[in-house]
């Protein structure tokens, strides 16, 4: 299984103070597309490590508004992708 995640999409994640503390919400445009979306709740330790990692990249702190902070929540959203194995014909 190959797992993907959404990074850059208009208004994702939401960056208002009110929304940052809430679980991530999948943008409406992505619901019903046939992908299998998985919501993962992080442990407090995992969330701390995630927050530390996000803030370790000083170049990213120049992002507009609270975009970087909006990814530092207690959850993640992933989607499954089909993993097709290449086939090889032996002559």
Q: H or E stretch including 69?
A: helix 67-70
Q: What is the pLDDT of residue 20?
A: 63
pLDDT digits (tens, 9 = 90+) for 12-59: 777 666 666 777 778 877 776 666 788 889 999 998 898 888 778 777
Q: What is the pLDDT of residue 30?
A: 78
Residues 6+ apart with CB under 8 A from 1: 80, 81, 83
Residue 3 has pLDDT above 80, yes or no: yes
User: What pTM, to 2 d.p., does this model score?
Assistant: 0.63
Nearest Cα neighbor of 26 from 42, 18, 14, 17 is 14
Structure confidence at residue 65 as a pLDDT band (50, 70, 90): low
């Amino acid at each position: 299984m190959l797992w993907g995640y959404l990074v850059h999409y208009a208004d994702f994640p939401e960056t208002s103070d009110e929304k940052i503390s809430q679980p991530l919400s999948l943008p409406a445009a992505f619901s019903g597309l046939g992908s299998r979306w998985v919501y993962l709740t992080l442990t407090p330790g995992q969330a701390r490590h995630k927050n530390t990692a996000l803030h370790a990249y000083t170049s990213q702190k120049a992002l507009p508004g609270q975009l970087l902070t909006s990814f530092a929540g207690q959850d993640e959203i992933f989607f499954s992708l089909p993993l097709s194995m290449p086939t090889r014909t032996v002559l």
